[in-house]
Structure 1
Amino acid sequence: MNRDLNICVVIPVHQPVPSVHELISLKAAASKLNIYDCYLVHPQGMDISAYTAVFANLILQPVDALCLTSVEQYNKLKLNLAFYKLFEAYQYMLTYELDAYIFDADFEAVGALEFDFIGAPFFEGYWDAAPGAQLVKGCNSGFSIRNNHSCIQVLSAMGRFKPGWFLYRVSLAYSSRLRQWLNKITGGKYEIYLSGKFAFYFADFHLNEDVVWTEVVPQMFPCFKVADPISALKFSFEYNLADSLRLNGDKLPLGCHAWQKHIDFWGPYIDARKPTNDLE
Protein backbone atom coordinates (compact mmCIF):
# COMPACT_ATOMS: atom_id res chain seq x y z
CA MET A 1 0.00 0.00 0.00
CA ASN A 2 1.29 3.44 -0.92
CA ARG A 3 1.08 5.60 2.18
CA ASP A 4 1.96 8.71 0.20
CA LEU A 5 -1.23 8.84 -1.86
CA ASN A 6 -2.81 12.28 -1.74
CA ILE A 7 -6.19 11.09 -0.46
CA CYS A 8 -8.52 12.45 2.17
CA VAL A 9 -11.41 10.49 3.65
CA VAL A 10 -14.78 12.18 4.19
CA ILE A 11 -17.14 10.56 6.69
CA PRO A 12 -20.49 12.40 6.78
CA VAL A 13 -22.75 12.05 9.84
CA HIS A 14 -25.96 13.78 10.84
CA GLN A 15 -26.90 12.53 14.31
CA PRO A 16 -24.98 12.47 17.61
CA VAL A 17 -25.75 8.85 18.46
CA PRO A 18 -24.64 6.38 15.78
CA SER A 19 -26.26 2.98 15.43
CA VAL A 20 -24.41 -0.22 16.28
CA HIS A 21 -23.96 -0.92 12.57
CA GLU A 22 -22.59 2.57 11.97
CA LEU A 23 -20.07 2.07 14.74
CA ILE A 24 -18.96 -1.19 13.12
CA SER A 25 -18.41 0.68 9.85
CA LEU A 26 -16.51 3.42 11.68
CA LYS A 27 -14.29 0.89 13.43
CA ALA A 28 -13.37 -0.61 10.05
CA ALA A 29 -12.45 2.87 8.81
CA ALA A 30 -10.32 3.47 11.89
CA SER A 31 -8.49 0.21 11.23
CA LYS A 32 -7.98 0.48 7.46
CA LEU A 33 -7.93 4.21 6.72
CA ASN A 34 -6.03 5.68 9.65
CA ILE A 35 -2.96 6.42 7.51
CA TYR A 36 -5.00 9.09 5.69
CA ASP A 37 -6.50 12.35 6.90
CA CYS A 38 -10.04 11.32 7.85
CA TYR A 39 -12.60 14.12 8.19
CA LEU A 40 -15.82 13.79 10.15
CA VAL A 41 -18.26 16.06 8.31
CA HIS A 42 -20.94 16.91 10.85
CA PRO A 43 -23.56 19.57 11.60
CA GLN A 44 -22.14 22.64 13.30
CA GLY A 45 -22.58 22.33 17.06
CA MET A 46 -23.42 18.61 17.14
CA ASP A 47 -21.90 16.42 19.86
CA ILE A 48 -19.48 14.10 18.07
CA SER A 49 -17.97 12.34 21.11
CA ALA A 50 -19.53 8.97 20.20
CA TYR A 51 -17.54 9.01 16.95
CA THR A 52 -14.21 10.19 18.33
CA ALA A 53 -14.47 7.55 21.07
CA VAL A 54 -14.12 4.91 18.34
CA PHE A 55 -11.83 6.83 15.96
CA ALA A 56 -9.78 9.30 17.96
CA ASN A 57 -7.81 10.64 15.00
CA LEU A 58 -10.82 12.03 13.16
CA ILE A 59 -10.39 15.60 11.93
CA LEU A 60 -13.55 17.58 12.60
CA GLN A 61 -15.13 19.41 9.67
CA PRO A 62 -18.36 21.12 10.75
CA VAL A 63 -20.78 22.34 8.08
CA ASP A 64 -24.02 24.27 8.14
CA ALA A 65 -26.52 21.99 9.87
CA LEU A 66 -29.00 22.46 7.00
CA CYS A 67 -26.64 20.56 4.67
CA LEU A 68 -27.21 17.33 6.59
CA THR A 69 -30.89 17.58 7.46
CA SER A 70 -32.10 15.40 4.58
CA VAL A 71 -30.89 13.23 1.73
CA GLU A 72 -31.78 16.03 -0.67
CA GLN A 73 -29.71 18.60 1.22
CA TYR A 74 -26.80 16.18 1.45
CA ASN A 75 -26.92 15.59 -2.30
CA LYS A 76 -26.82 19.33 -2.86
CA LEU A 77 -23.81 19.59 -0.56
CA LYS A 78 -21.98 17.02 -2.69
CA LEU A 79 -22.58 19.20 -5.76
CA ASN A 80 -21.38 22.39 -4.09
CA LEU A 81 -18.06 23.84 -5.22
CA ALA A 82 -17.37 25.25 -1.76
CA PHE A 83 -17.52 21.74 -0.28
CA TYR A 84 -14.81 20.44 -2.60
CA LYS A 85 -12.63 23.47 -1.97
CA LEU A 86 -12.57 22.54 1.72
CA PHE A 87 -10.41 19.60 0.62
CA GLU A 88 -8.55 21.31 -2.21
CA ALA A 89 -5.19 20.26 -0.79
CA TYR A 90 -5.98 16.64 -1.68
CA GLN A 91 -6.17 15.21 -5.18
CA TYR A 92 -8.55 12.41 -4.21
CA MET A 93 -11.54 12.23 -1.89
CA LEU A 94 -12.81 8.94 -0.50
CA THR A 95 -16.43 9.21 0.60
CA TYR A 96 -17.12 6.73 3.40
CA GLU A 97 -20.71 6.87 4.56
CA LEU A 98 -21.39 4.86 7.68
CA ASP A 99 -23.34 2.21 5.84
CA ALA A 100 -20.11 1.34 4.03
CA TYR A 101 -17.45 -1.16 5.05
CA ILE A 102 -13.82 -1.38 3.97
CA PHE A 103 -11.89 -4.64 3.74
CA ASP A 104 -8.69 -3.36 2.14
CA ALA A 105 -7.31 0.08 1.25
CA ASP A 106 -4.99 -0.95 -1.59
CA PHE A 107 -6.58 1.49 -4.03
CA GLU A 108 -3.76 1.32 -6.56
CA ALA A 109 -4.03 -2.47 -6.83
CA VAL A 110 -7.51 -2.21 -8.36
CA GLY A 111 -6.76 0.88 -10.45
CA ALA A 112 -9.15 3.04 -8.45
CA LEU A 113 -7.10 6.19 -8.96
CA GLU A 114 -7.18 5.92 -12.74
CA PHE A 115 -10.69 7.37 -12.76
CA ASP A 116 -12.33 10.64 -11.78
CA PHE A 117 -15.07 8.67 -10.02
CA ILE A 118 -15.33 5.06 -8.89
CA GLY A 119 -17.88 3.35 -6.67
CA ALA A 120 -20.11 0.28 -6.67
CA PRO A 121 -21.53 -0.14 -10.19
CA PHE A 122 -25.20 0.22 -11.00
CA PHE A 123 -27.33 -2.61 -12.32
CA GLU A 124 -30.36 -2.14 -14.53
CA GLY A 125 -33.20 -1.32 -12.14
CA TYR A 126 -30.88 0.29 -9.58
CA TRP A 127 -32.25 -0.47 -6.08
CA ASP A 128 -34.84 -2.80 -7.59
CA ALA A 129 -32.35 -4.66 -9.76
CA ALA A 130 -33.29 -8.30 -10.21
CA PRO A 131 -30.81 -11.19 -10.18
CA GLY A 132 -29.25 -11.43 -13.59
CA ALA A 133 -29.81 -7.74 -14.35
CA GLN A 134 -27.32 -6.13 -16.68
CA LEU A 135 -24.64 -3.77 -15.46
CA VAL A 136 -25.22 -0.18 -16.60
CA LYS A 137 -23.25 3.06 -16.57
CA GLY A 138 -22.85 4.86 -13.28
CA CYS A 139 -21.47 4.31 -9.78
CA ASN A 140 -22.74 4.67 -6.22
CA SER A 141 -21.30 7.38 -4.00
CA GLY A 142 -21.61 5.87 -0.51
CA PHE A 143 -18.20 4.22 -0.73
CA SER A 144 -16.43 5.97 -3.56
CA ILE A 145 -13.30 7.77 -4.65
CA ARG A 146 -13.45 10.88 -6.80
CA ASN A 147 -10.70 13.05 -8.19
CA ASN A 148 -11.25 16.17 -6.13
CA HIS A 149 -9.36 18.42 -8.54
CA SER A 150 -11.46 17.18 -11.47
CA CYS A 151 -14.63 17.82 -9.48
CA ILE A 152 -13.51 21.36 -8.73
CA GLN A 153 -12.83 21.96 -12.42
CA VAL A 154 -16.27 20.66 -13.39
CA LEU A 155 -18.14 22.68 -10.79
CA SER A 156 -16.14 25.81 -11.60
CA ALA A 157 -17.19 25.50 -15.24
CA MET A 158 -20.81 24.54 -14.57
CA GLY A 159 -22.10 28.09 -14.70
CA ARG A 160 -21.44 28.36 -18.40
CA PHE A 161 -24.18 25.83 -19.06
CA LYS A 162 -26.87 27.79 -17.26
CA PRO A 163 -27.84 30.06 -20.20
CA GLY A 164 -27.95 27.05 -22.50
CA TRP A 165 -30.02 25.07 -20.03
CA PHE A 166 -32.53 27.89 -19.81
CA LEU A 167 -32.62 28.41 -23.57
CA TYR A 168 -33.16 24.78 -24.45
CA ARG A 169 -35.63 24.31 -21.64
CA VAL A 170 -37.79 27.22 -22.79
CA SER A 171 -37.32 26.98 -26.55
CA LEU A 172 -37.46 23.26 -27.18
CA ALA A 173 -39.51 21.71 -24.43
CA TYR A 174 -42.75 22.27 -26.34
CA SER A 175 -41.48 21.64 -29.87
CA SER A 176 -41.23 17.89 -30.38
CA ARG A 177 -40.14 18.19 -34.02
CA LEU A 178 -37.30 20.61 -33.26
CA ARG A 179 -36.35 18.53 -30.25
CA GLN A 180 -36.13 15.34 -32.32
CA TRP A 181 -34.05 17.11 -34.94
CA LEU A 182 -31.63 18.49 -32.36
CA ASN A 183 -31.26 15.10 -30.69
CA LYS A 184 -30.55 13.51 -34.06
CA ILE A 185 -27.70 15.83 -35.00
CA THR A 186 -26.19 15.99 -31.49
CA GLY A 187 -26.62 12.36 -30.50
CA GLY A 188 -28.96 13.42 -27.70
CA LYS A 189 -26.26 15.38 -25.89
CA TYR A 190 -28.56 18.28 -25.09
CA GLU A 191 -31.56 16.17 -24.15
CA ILE A 192 -30.29 16.42 -20.63
CA TYR A 193 -31.35 20.06 -20.55
CA LEU A 194 -34.91 19.02 -21.31
CA SER A 195 -35.29 15.84 -19.32
CA GLY A 196 -34.68 17.57 -16.00
CA LYS A 197 -31.65 15.49 -15.06
CA PHE A 198 -29.32 18.47 -15.13
CA ALA A 199 -31.83 20.84 -13.58
CA PHE A 200 -30.74 19.73 -10.12
CA TYR A 201 -27.73 22.00 -10.27
CA PHE A 202 -29.70 25.08 -11.24
CA ALA A 203 -33.14 24.57 -9.75
CA ASP A 204 -34.91 23.10 -6.74
CA PHE A 205 -34.89 19.59 -8.15
CA HIS A 206 -33.74 16.45 -6.37
CA LEU A 207 -31.43 13.96 -8.02
CA ASN A 208 -28.87 11.77 -6.28
CA GLU A 209 -25.43 13.31 -6.59
CA ASP A 210 -23.85 10.06 -7.73
CA VAL A 211 -26.21 9.98 -10.71
CA VAL A 212 -25.19 13.56 -11.54
CA TRP A 213 -21.48 12.80 -11.25
CA THR A 214 -21.46 9.46 -13.05
CA GLU A 215 -24.24 9.79 -15.64
CA VAL A 216 -24.80 13.50 -16.22
CA VAL A 217 -21.38 15.12 -15.84
CA PRO A 218 -19.65 12.80 -18.37
CA GLN A 219 -22.17 13.91 -21.00
CA MET A 220 -21.28 17.54 -20.46
CA PHE A 221 -17.58 16.99 -19.74
CA PRO A 222 -16.40 13.97 -21.79
CA CYS A 223 -12.97 14.18 -20.18
CA PHE A 224 -14.51 13.28 -16.78
CA LYS A 225 -13.72 9.57 -16.55
CA VAL A 226 -16.10 7.32 -14.64
CA ALA A 227 -15.08 3.74 -13.89
CA ASP A 228 -16.54 1.09 -16.16
CA PRO A 229 -18.71 -1.48 -14.33
CA ILE A 230 -16.16 -4.31 -14.30
CA SER A 231 -13.42 -2.05 -12.92
CA ALA A 232 -15.90 -0.68 -10.40
CA LEU A 233 -16.69 -4.18 -9.10
CA LYS A 234 -13.07 -4.54 -8.00
CA PHE A 235 -13.59 -1.49 -5.82
CA SER A 236 -17.08 -1.96 -4.33
CA PHE A 237 -20.35 -3.94 -4.35
CA GLU A 238 -23.83 -2.72 -3.47
CA TYR A 239 -26.55 -4.47 -5.51
CA ASN A 240 -26.96 -8.01 -6.83
CA LEU A 241 -24.26 -9.29 -4.55
CA ALA A 242 -24.09 -12.88 -5.75
CA ASP A 243 -23.82 -11.66 -9.35
CA SER A 244 -21.26 -9.06 -8.31
CA LEU A 245 -19.08 -11.67 -6.63
CA ARG A 246 -19.27 -13.96 -9.66
CA LEU A 247 -18.47 -11.15 -12.09
CA ASN A 248 -15.51 -10.17 -9.92
CA GLY A 249 -13.98 -13.63 -10.19
CA ASP A 250 -15.29 -14.70 -6.76
CA LYS A 251 -13.09 -12.08 -5.13
CA LEU A 252 -14.20 -9.52 -2.56
CA PRO A 253 -13.91 -5.86 -3.52
CA LEU A 254 -12.01 -3.32 -1.44
CA GLY A 255 -15.26 -2.35 0.25
CA CYS A 256 -19.01 -2.29 0.00
CA HIS A 257 -22.01 -0.05 0.55
CA ALA A 258 -25.35 -0.72 2.30
CA TRP A 259 -23.99 -3.88 3.91
CA GLN A 260 -26.51 -3.67 6.77
CA LYS A 261 -29.32 -4.36 4.29
CA HIS A 262 -27.69 -7.62 3.23
CA ILE A 263 -26.46 -9.23 6.44
CA ASP A 264 -27.06 -12.73 5.07
CA PHE A 265 -24.49 -12.10 2.35
CA TRP A 266 -21.99 -9.97 4.24
CA GLY A 267 -22.20 -11.73 7.61
CA PRO A 268 -19.37 -14.18 6.87
CA TYR A 269 -17.05 -11.31 5.94
CA ILE A 270 -17.93 -8.56 8.41
CA ASP A 271 -17.40 -8.77 12.15
CA ALA A 272 -20.77 -7.52 13.38
CA ARG A 273 -19.85 -7.53 17.05
CA LYS A 274 -20.48 -4.26 18.85
CA PRO A 275 -17.25 -2.23 18.77
CA THR A 276 -15.55 -0.82 21.83
CA ASN A 277 -13.05 1.97 22.16
CA ASP A 278 -10.29 -0.62 21.77
CA LEU A 279 -9.32 -0.79 18.11
CA GLU A 280 -6.99 -3.73 18.61
Structure 2
Amino acid sequence: MTPNVAIVVPAYRRFADLTESEQISWRQSTDVYQTYPFVLVCPDSLDASGYVSAVLAQPVRLERFADTYFSGTASYNKLMMSLDFFQRLAGYEYFLLCQLDVFVFRDDLPAWCAKCYSYVGPPWFAGFEPPLAEARLWAVGNGGFSLRKVADCLRVLHARQPIFSWPTLLRECFAPGLGAGLRRLPAYLRRGLQANQTHHARNDYAGQEDIFWSLICADRFAWYTVPTPTEALEFGFDYHPTLMLELNGGRLPMGFHAWDRHRNAFWTKLFKEQGYSLNNPSCGL
Protein backbone atom coordinates (compact mmCIF):
# COMPACT_ATOMS: atom_id res chain seq x y z
CA MET A 1 0.00 0.00 0.00
CA THR A 2 1.39 3.40 -1.03
CA PRO A 3 1.74 5.68 2.01
CA ASN A 4 0.36 9.22 2.05
CA VAL A 5 3.73 10.91 1.58
CA ALA A 6 4.89 13.78 -0.62
CA ILE A 7 8.38 14.31 -2.00
CA VAL A 8 9.31 17.90 -1.11
CA VAL A 9 12.14 19.50 -3.07
CA PRO A 10 13.37 23.02 -2.18
CA ALA A 11 14.56 24.95 -5.23
CA TYR A 12 15.56 28.59 -5.66
CA ARG A 13 17.10 28.57 -9.18
CA ARG A 14 15.66 27.84 -12.60
CA PHE A 15 16.19 24.27 -13.73
CA ALA A 16 18.43 25.45 -16.57
CA ASP A 17 20.69 27.15 -14.01
CA LEU A 18 21.20 24.04 -11.87
CA THR A 19 24.53 22.26 -11.87
CA GLU A 20 24.90 18.91 -13.62
CA SER A 21 24.77 17.09 -10.29
CA GLU A 22 21.62 18.94 -9.20
CA GLN A 23 19.87 18.04 -12.44
CA ILE A 24 20.90 14.41 -11.92
CA SER A 25 19.45 14.55 -8.41
CA TRP A 26 16.10 15.82 -9.70
CA ARG A 27 15.87 13.25 -12.50
CA GLN A 28 16.81 10.36 -10.26
CA SER A 29 14.36 11.39 -7.54
CA THR A 30 11.48 11.77 -9.98
CA ASP A 31 12.31 8.40 -11.50
CA VAL A 32 12.56 6.46 -8.21
CA TYR A 33 9.58 8.19 -6.55
CA GLN A 34 7.48 8.65 -9.69
CA THR A 35 4.24 7.35 -8.10
CA TYR A 36 4.33 9.94 -5.29
CA PRO A 37 3.21 13.58 -5.43
CA PHE A 38 6.10 16.01 -5.85
CA VAL A 39 6.00 19.43 -4.17
CA LEU A 40 8.49 22.06 -5.29
CA VAL A 41 9.11 24.60 -2.52
CA CYS A 42 10.32 27.73 -4.25
CA PRO A 43 10.43 31.56 -4.19
CA ASP A 44 7.51 33.61 -5.46
CA SER A 45 9.63 34.93 -8.30
CA LEU A 46 11.07 31.64 -9.59
CA ASP A 47 10.35 30.48 -13.13
CA ALA A 48 9.65 26.83 -12.27
CA SER A 49 8.64 25.73 -15.76
CA GLY A 50 11.75 23.58 -16.16
CA TYR A 51 10.85 21.33 -13.24
CA VAL A 52 8.75 18.84 -15.16
CA SER A 53 9.11 15.10 -15.56
CA ALA A 54 7.41 12.81 -18.04
CA VAL A 55 7.68 9.88 -15.63
CA LEU A 56 5.67 11.42 -12.80
CA ALA A 57 2.11 10.19 -12.32
CA GLN A 58 0.93 13.75 -11.68
CA PRO A 59 2.23 17.30 -12.30
CA VAL A 60 4.69 18.88 -9.90
CA ARG A 61 2.83 20.96 -7.30
CA LEU A 62 4.28 24.39 -6.55
CA GLU A 63 4.33 25.85 -3.06
CA ARG A 64 5.65 29.38 -3.28
CA PHE A 65 7.01 31.42 -0.39
CA ALA A 66 8.48 34.91 -0.08
CA ASP A 67 11.81 35.33 -1.86
CA THR A 68 13.40 36.40 1.43
CA TYR A 69 13.16 32.81 2.72
CA PHE A 70 15.63 31.76 0.02
CA SER A 71 18.24 34.48 0.58
CA GLY A 72 20.55 32.30 2.69
CA THR A 73 20.86 29.47 5.20
CA ALA A 74 19.39 31.42 8.13
CA SER A 75 16.24 32.41 6.24
CA TYR A 76 15.79 28.86 4.89
CA ASN A 77 16.03 27.52 8.45
CA LYS A 78 13.25 29.91 9.46
CA LEU A 79 11.06 28.66 6.62
CA MET A 80 11.61 25.07 7.71
CA MET A 81 10.44 25.87 11.23
CA SER A 82 7.47 28.02 10.21
CA LEU A 83 3.84 27.11 10.80
CA ASP A 84 2.91 28.15 7.27
CA PHE A 85 5.29 25.61 5.74
CA PHE A 86 3.84 22.65 7.63
CA GLN A 87 0.25 23.77 7.26
CA ARG A 88 0.65 23.70 3.49
CA LEU A 89 1.67 20.04 3.76
CA ALA A 90 -1.04 19.07 6.24
CA GLY A 91 -2.82 16.99 3.62
CA TYR A 92 0.02 14.47 3.74
CA GLU A 93 0.87 12.14 6.60
CA TYR A 94 4.59 12.37 5.85
CA PHE A 95 6.90 14.24 3.54
CA LEU A 96 10.35 13.29 2.32
CA LEU A 97 12.55 16.37 2.10
CA CYS A 98 14.85 15.69 -0.82
CA GLN A 99 17.25 18.52 -1.55
CA LEU A 100 18.99 18.78 -4.89
CA ASP A 101 22.21 17.33 -3.49
CA VAL A 102 20.59 13.93 -2.80
CA PHE A 103 20.91 10.75 -4.86
CA VAL A 104 18.28 8.10 -4.16
CA PHE A 105 18.79 4.42 -4.93
CA ARG A 106 15.38 2.90 -4.25
CA ASP A 107 11.95 3.47 -2.74
CA ASP A 108 11.81 2.23 0.87
CA LEU A 109 9.20 4.78 1.89
CA PRO A 110 6.40 2.29 2.73
CA ALA A 111 8.67 0.52 5.22
CA TRP A 112 9.94 3.74 6.80
CA CYS A 113 6.47 5.27 7.08
CA ALA A 114 5.25 2.08 8.76
CA LYS A 115 7.77 2.68 11.55
CA CYS A 116 5.85 5.87 12.51
CA TYR A 117 8.93 7.88 13.45
CA SER A 118 8.50 11.63 13.86
CA TYR A 119 11.78 12.32 12.05
CA VAL A 120 14.33 10.22 10.15
CA GLY A 121 17.55 11.40 8.53
CA PRO A 122 21.06 10.14 7.78
CA PRO A 123 23.00 9.85 11.04
CA TRP A 124 25.62 12.34 12.14
CA PHE A 125 29.07 11.62 13.45
CA ALA A 126 30.11 13.27 16.70
CA GLY A 127 31.55 16.63 15.69
CA PHE A 128 29.56 16.46 12.42
CA GLU A 129 32.62 16.38 10.13
CA PRO A 130 35.40 14.72 12.15
CA PRO A 131 38.54 13.17 10.66
CA LEU A 132 37.84 9.68 9.39
CA ALA A 133 39.93 7.99 12.10
CA GLU A 134 37.91 9.71 14.84
CA ALA A 135 34.44 9.29 13.34
CA ARG A 136 31.78 7.63 15.50
CA LEU A 137 28.04 7.63 15.03
CA TRP A 138 26.30 10.08 17.31
CA ALA A 139 22.72 11.10 16.48
CA VAL A 140 19.95 11.38 13.86
CA GLY A 141 20.20 13.29 11.63
CA ASN A 142 20.71 15.40 8.54
CA GLY A 143 17.72 17.36 7.22
CA GLY A 144 18.70 17.54 3.55
CA PHE A 145 17.34 14.03 3.06
CA SER A 146 14.78 13.43 5.78
CA LEU A 147 11.35 11.91 6.37
CA ARG A 148 9.06 13.94 8.63
CA LYS A 149 5.66 13.17 10.14
CA VAL A 150 3.59 16.29 9.48
CA ALA A 151 1.19 15.95 12.42
CA ASP A 152 4.07 15.60 14.89
CA CYS A 153 5.79 18.69 13.50
CA LEU A 154 2.57 20.69 13.79
CA ARG A 155 2.10 19.40 17.33
CA VAL A 156 5.57 20.71 18.21
CA LEU A 157 4.80 24.12 16.71
CA HIS A 158 1.67 24.40 18.86
CA ALA A 159 3.37 23.24 22.06
CA ARG A 160 5.02 25.51 24.63
CA GLN A 161 8.22 23.80 25.65
CA PRO A 162 11.46 25.68 26.29
CA ILE A 163 14.06 25.20 23.60
CA PHE A 164 16.97 25.88 25.95
CA SER A 165 16.97 25.50 29.72
CA TRP A 166 17.62 28.48 32.00
CA PRO A 167 21.10 27.16 32.96
CA THR A 168 21.98 26.92 29.25
CA LEU A 169 20.79 30.47 28.57
CA LEU A 170 22.69 31.85 31.56
CA ARG A 171 25.89 30.05 30.56
CA GLU A 172 25.59 31.59 27.10
CA CYS A 173 24.84 35.01 28.58
CA PHE A 174 27.92 35.05 30.81
CA ALA A 175 30.26 33.27 28.40
CA PRO A 176 32.06 36.57 27.46
CA GLY A 177 32.67 37.36 31.15
CA LEU A 178 30.90 38.77 34.19
CA GLY A 179 30.71 42.40 33.07
CA ALA A 180 29.45 41.59 29.58
CA GLY A 181 27.07 39.01 31.04
CA LEU A 182 25.48 41.54 33.39
CA ARG A 183 24.93 43.93 30.49
CA ARG A 184 23.39 41.14 28.41
CA LEU A 185 21.30 39.72 31.26
CA PRO A 186 18.08 41.76 30.68
CA ALA A 187 17.96 40.66 27.04
CA TYR A 188 18.47 37.02 28.01
CA LEU A 189 15.77 37.25 30.68
CA ARG A 190 13.35 38.64 28.10
CA ARG A 191 14.34 35.88 25.71
CA GLY A 192 13.73 33.20 28.31
CA LEU A 193 10.34 34.61 29.27
CA GLN A 194 9.00 35.80 25.93
CA ALA A 195 10.70 33.61 23.31
CA ASN A 196 12.81 30.43 23.53
CA GLN A 197 9.73 28.26 22.92
CA THR A 198 8.90 25.51 20.48
CA HIS A 199 5.60 27.33 19.83
CA HIS A 200 5.62 28.89 16.37
CA ALA A 201 4.77 32.38 17.61
CA ARG A 202 7.65 32.49 20.11
CA ASN A 203 10.27 30.28 18.54
CA ASP A 204 13.52 32.25 18.36
CA TYR A 205 15.78 29.28 17.56
CA ALA A 206 18.48 30.59 15.24
CA GLY A 207 20.39 27.39 14.52
CA GLN A 208 20.14 24.67 11.90
CA GLU A 209 16.57 23.50 11.41
CA ASP A 210 17.54 19.82 11.34
CA ILE A 211 19.16 20.11 14.77
CA PHE A 212 15.88 21.56 16.05
CA TRP A 213 13.71 18.85 14.48
CA SER A 214 15.96 15.96 15.42
CA LEU A 215 17.93 16.62 18.59
CA ILE A 216 15.91 19.31 20.37
CA CYS A 217 12.43 17.96 19.66
CA ALA A 218 13.41 14.40 20.55
CA ASP A 219 14.80 15.70 23.86
CA ARG A 220 11.83 17.93 24.73
CA PHE A 221 8.95 15.60 23.82
CA ALA A 222 8.67 12.00 25.00
CA TRP A 223 6.21 11.21 22.20
CA TYR A 224 8.53 12.54 19.47
CA THR A 225 10.47 9.59 18.09
CA VAL A 226 13.57 9.12 15.96
CA PRO A 227 15.49 5.93 15.08
CA THR A 228 18.89 5.06 16.47
CA PRO A 229 21.85 6.26 14.40
CA THR A 230 22.64 2.65 13.46
CA GLU A 231 19.10 2.05 12.18
CA ALA A 232 19.18 5.36 10.31
CA LEU A 233 22.11 4.08 8.22
CA GLU A 234 19.54 2.03 6.30
CA PHE A 235 17.76 5.28 5.47
CA GLY A 236 20.64 7.45 4.31
CA PHE A 237 24.34 8.27 4.29
CA ASP A 238 26.00 11.67 4.55
CA TYR A 239 29.54 12.37 5.71
CA HIS A 240 32.26 9.66 5.29
CA PRO A 241 29.96 7.50 3.14
CA THR A 242 32.50 4.72 2.72
CA LEU A 243 32.68 4.34 6.50
CA MET A 244 28.89 4.45 6.71
CA LEU A 245 28.75 1.71 4.08
CA GLU A 246 31.07 -0.41 6.22
CA LEU A 247 29.04 0.28 9.38
CA ASN A 248 25.90 -0.70 7.48
CA GLY A 249 27.31 -4.11 6.60
CA GLY A 250 28.06 -3.15 2.99
CA ARG A 251 24.40 -2.34 2.26
CA LEU A 252 23.45 0.81 0.40
CA PRO A 253 20.84 3.07 2.03
CA MET A 254 17.69 4.42 0.41
CA GLY A 255 19.50 7.66 -0.39
CA PHE A 256 22.77 9.52 -0.13
CA HIS A 257 22.94 13.18 0.90
CA ALA A 258 25.58 15.56 -0.51
CA TRP A 259 26.75 12.95 -2.99
CA ASP A 260 28.51 15.44 -5.25
CA ARG A 261 30.82 16.33 -2.36
CA HIS A 262 32.02 12.72 -2.23
CA ARG A 263 32.78 11.85 -5.84
CA ASN A 264 35.32 9.05 -6.16
CA ALA A 265 35.80 5.92 -8.24
CA PHE A 266 33.48 3.84 -6.04
CA TRP A 267 30.51 6.21 -6.37
CA THR A 268 31.26 6.90 -10.03
CA LYS A 269 30.95 3.17 -10.79
CA LEU A 270 27.81 2.93 -8.69
CA PHE A 271 26.13 5.87 -10.41
CA LYS A 272 27.14 4.51 -13.84
CA GLU A 273 25.12 1.41 -12.97
CA GLN A 274 22.18 3.79 -12.37
CA GLY A 275 22.64 5.27 -15.85
CA TYR A 276 24.64 8.42 -15.01
CA SER A 277 28.13 9.35 -16.11
CA LEU A 278 30.02 11.50 -13.61
CA ASN A 279 32.85 13.77 -14.71
CA ASN A 280 36.05 14.41 -12.77
CA PRO A 281 35.70 11.97 -9.84
CA SER A 282 38.07 12.82 -7.00
CA CYS A 283 40.47 10.32 -5.53
CA GLY A 284 39.90 11.05 -1.86
CA LEU A 285 37.64 9.50 0.77
TM-score by length of 1: 0.79
For residue 120 of structure 2, what is the aligned residue in structure 1?
A: 118
For residue 261 of structure 2, what is the aligned residue in structure 1?
A: 261
Structure 2 residue matching 1:128: 3-state secondary structure: coil
Q: Tell me how far 1:130 sits from its aligned partner.
A: 2.5
Larger RCO: 1 or 2 (CA < 8 Å, sep 6+): 1
Structure 2 residue matching 1:211: 3-state secondary structure: helix
Closer/same/farther in 2, CA of residues 246 and 107 from structure 1, 3 Å limit: same
Structure 1 residue matching 2:143: 3-state secondary structure: strand
Distance 2:196 2:240 in 1: 25
Closer/same/farther in 2, CA of residues 6 and 166 from structure 1, 3 Å limit: same
Structure 2 residue matching 1:93: 3-state secondary structure: strand
Residues 41-97 of structure 1, C-alpha deviations (whole Å, 9 max, x = no match) = 110021112322677731111111111111111111111111101010111010000
For residue 69 of structure 2, what is the aligned residue in structure 1?
A: 67
RMSD of Structure 2 on Structure 1 (CA): 3.1
Distance 2:256 2:173 in 1: 40
Which of 150, 153, 157 is 2:152 aligned to? Answer: 150
Which of 127, 130, 146 is 1:128 aligned to? Answer: 130
For residue 187 of structure 1, what is the aligned residue in structure 2?
A: none
CA contact (8 A) 2:125 2:138 kept: yes
Q: Which runs of 5+ in 2 are unaligned?
A: 175-191, 279-285
Q: Tell me how far 1:166 sits from its aligned partner.
A: 7.6
Structure 2 residue matching 1:21: 3-state secondary structure: helix
Paired residue type of 1:7: V
Paired residue type of 2:137: L
For residue 5 of structure 2, what is the aligned residue in structure 1?
A: 7
For residue 23 of structure 2, what is the aligned residue in structure 1?
A: 23
- For residues 1-280 of structure 1, the aligned pairs below 5 Å read 2-3=1-2, 5-16=3-14, 17-52=17-52, 57-109=59-111, 113-158=115-160, 161=162, 169=169, 202=202, 206-264=206-264, 265-271=266-272, 272-273=276-277
CA contact (8 A) 1:24 1:273 kept: no
Closer/same/farther in 2, CA of residues 242 and 171 from structure 1, 3 Å limit: closer
Distance 2:121 2:211 in 1: 11
Q: Tell me how far 1:252 sits from its aligned partner.
A: 0.3
Paired residue type of 1:61: E
CA contact (8 A) 1:27 1:55 kept: no
Paired residue type of 1:60: L
Q: Tell me how far 1:33 sits from its aligned partner.
A: 1.1
Distance 1:129 1:213 in 2: 26
Structure 2 residue matching 1:234: 3-state secondary structure: coil
* Percent identical: 28
Closer/same/farther in 2, CA of residues 167 and 58 from structure 1, 3 Å limit: same
Structure 2 residue matching 1:140: 3-state secondary structure: coil
CA contact (8 A) 1:39 1:60 kept: yes
Structure 1 residue matching 2:159: 3-state secondary structure: helix
Q: Tell me how far 1:138 sits from its aligned partner.
A: 2.5
Paired residue type of 2:250: D
CA contact (8 A) 1:11 1:41 kept: yes
Paired residue type of 2:9: I
Distance 1:12 1:38 in 2: 11
Distance 2:71 2:254 in 1: 30
Paired residue type of 1:210: D
Closer/same/farther in 2, CA of residues 270 and 69 from structure 1, 3 Å limit: same
CA contact (8 A) 1:197 1:212 kept: no
Closer/same/farther in 2, CA of residues 128 and 233 from structure 1, 3 Å limit: same
Q: Which runs of 5+ in 1 are unaligned?
A: 175-192, 275-280
For residue 188 of structure 1, what is the aligned residue in structure 2?
A: none
Paired residue type of 2:7: V
CA contact (8 A) 2:86 2:150 kept: yes
Structure 2 residue matching 1:152: 3-state secondary structure: helix
Closer/same/farther in 2, CA of residues 54 and 70 from structure 1, 3 Å limit: farther
